[in-house]
Amino acid sequence: MRVLLTGGAGFIGHHIVEHLLRHSDWDIVLLDRLDISGNLNRIHEVIENNAICGRLTWVYHDFKAPISEMIAKAIGRVDGILHVGASTHVDRSITDPLSFVYDNVVGTANILEFLRQVVPQAWMVYFSTDEVFGPAPEGVAYQELDRYNSGNPYAASKAGGEELCMAYANTYGLDIRVTHTMNVFGERQHYEKFIPLIINHILRQQLVLIHANKTKTKAGSRYYIHARSVVDALMFVVKHGKKQEKYNIVGSQEVDNLALAIMIAKIMGRPLTYELVDFHSSRPGHDLRYALDGGKLKDMGWVPAVNFEESLQRTVEWTVKHQHWINL
């Protein structure tokens, strides 16, 4: 098997590389532009020997531009595409929405055109997000085909890319599957993300701001899931999924952000100084709660192999020992 991995030097992408190098004999073509989130040092750290390195092909390309004949030749024949590359940060999507439209909608269209015109026999998995469904009221967990209600430009751009994928699957008969994934954490995550940000603030004895409701009495909550569990689910979808189907990848339990910060401080053995703040009133687009129903994959036989608490402890301890990933 030879696969094209977009965003290969990103947080999710490099965990996919690590998994495939360790647990398969697949060859991997990495496509990345090395911007804010792309970092080849991630790949360097997960390559264990020179023999494994020989299974990687690196292609520099910003997929906002079409896949030219020269880039297609550099990519070569592929059996599948894992389209993980995207702009992902909500704050930046609010201040610069058009760049997210170009990256996540136009960029996805260019990858789809490569699939349609160059490798139509290949399968493709599009990596989407829980945020396309918008905020989830208490007691609600969205299923794969529930309506969309994007709360910010990032979410809308991912929904746009996702619907293009389904249109190409329906129109051209392409084998495309979609995953919705909840908040992912793990080693080498960009320091702007919540868990590395919390670790950084605790190390420096700085005030931690926790997203809460308008009355500042209830913190926002998520179903956090480790990147390795996400990659395991992606591989399950590649093996057992069906074209034109969507799959929710969900963590084992819901955790509110204040409880999460307290857990991190406890693992670190350091005090936590925090303040609950009403982000949504001052920064519309920050949703209080996201929730997905993971029943579809569970019924097919997939659940996370490692629980949330153990994954969190491993990640926090690793990050404290490798602070160069949060001190950039």
Q: Which contiguous run of DSSP H or E holds residue 110?
A: helix 107-117
In angstroms, rounded to a whole number, what is the distance separating the alpha carbons of residues 12 and 9? 8
Nearest to 246 by CA among 128, 119, 148: 128
Catalytic residue annotation? 130-131, 154
**DSSP annotation string for 260-323:** HHHHHHHHHT----EEEE-HHHHSTT--SB--B--HHHHHHT---SS-HHHHHHHHHHHHHH-G
Helix (H, G, I), strand (E, B) or coil at 23: helix
> Tokens 């030879």 map to which residue?
2
Contact 250, 293 (CB under 8 A): yes
- Counting Cβ atoms within 10 Å, is residue 79 exposed (0-12), middle (13-18) or buried (19+)? middle
Distance (Å) of CA 15 to CA 9, 47, 146, 151, 170: 9, 11, 29, 28, 30
In angstroms, rounded to a whole number, what is the distance separating the alpha carbons of residues 114 and 65? 11
Nearest to 177 by CA among 241, 85, 272, 94: 241
Nearest to 137 by CA among 239, 287, 246: 287
Nearest to 6 by CA among 90, 78, 55: 78
